[in-house]
Chain A
Amino acid sequence: MNPQINRIYAKLAETIRNPSPTTDEIDRALESMELIAPLSDEHVARKSYDLFHVVMQAPVSPAYSQEKKWEASRRTMHAAYKWDKFLPWVEDPHDILTFLSHHFDLATGGENQDEPIQNALRALAYASGPVAVEALKNFDPTKPSFVSGIRYVFQNNRPSELRKAALFFLPLIGDQWFNTPLPIDQIKSLCVDWASTVDVIENNDKAQKATLAVLFGMINSPHWRPHIVKDKWRLLEYFSSVPDDSQPLKKCIDNPGLMDEIRDVADPTAMALWMRILWLKYKELTPAVQRQLERVTKDVAQGRRRAELDAHQAAIDSELTTAENALTQYTTWSADPVAVALRTKIENLQHAKHALVALKRG
């Protein structure tokens, strides 16, 4: 079947690239795109992704109007990213971001554009390669129209698959999104909608990872932090899902003023979980944050919440066990980077444990 698929897509690309196509040719091409789009096939997905770029970059003409161009882009995007089992890698996200921005505009204007937006978000969230991730860093997601679009997809009445894709997309633009010097419109409602989205999606390792990446971004941002939904601080208990080299986490633990800010959060669990994270990362903390942590821990040890320290120690022990178990898969002095990282982690955790035990004893 692939030869016939090749012929179809070659003909489609030829028609779209043609600077002066006839209306009939364009209409037939659009009809063909619509017909082939439902086919769940790897080859179709790859070819559709390539055709999407051709569609986006082709010049408009009297026969190939801007409206038809968007229609063609929607059909190719659907053909490429509708299928869960195979998503073509996004090498260059610019066309998809253009597509996404346009459909955000349409959606916020009152049109139902859930499917194209969902496809674009799925592409960016689930299939962005390293090149695409780097390219996304140059994109400004804080434009009011784009922010409105993101807010639109997180709304409660949007399909859960769409909201899930947005949830997974957010970490990719988190750096620019949460570190903008100016506050974003309607942050509070956005935080609420994001929190409700977290509640509806399946709670698995990948979802926890994406959720925490966003949560750390929110925690570290003075604009966002006050609007974090109270019970979402408890998501910090999934800390172990976060990779050791997570940049949002690194920024948070390097932030010396964060501990005082979190102490003011209404939910006392937030502070306890944050301290636990800091103890797990004790060796990696800056001296200032280390001193802060030790001071707060002493206060806790002398107060009524002393049992919290036992929980921190248990968490360290648990992480130690996990790391030691993982290390048993390697030879004693393996030079494998993972083994080296595990040994470093074990060493850091043991160091943290000794420091914590010493503080507990007073």
Chain B
Amino acid sequence: MPAKTVGDALAGLVAQHPDLKRHLYSDDGKLRAFVNVYVNDEDMRYLQKEATVLSDGDTISIVPSIAGGNCQNDRRTCNSGVCKS
């Protein structure tokens, strides 16, 4: 997916898959606190968050919390390695 920043990539992802929106964003448009976004192996909270600039070949991972020792989460929130810039 072509994108300049993490924010662009996430917006593009949600545009392609509208069902993901409520899983990733709260009603006020903020990324949900239980969804962590990584650029390669680095947490974007410790980069420039959604403004983090991407380079060719960077991998963005969306890593939601899962609770299961059995299972207790929604598979739709549970994909890692979702898109590549």
A, B co-complexed: no
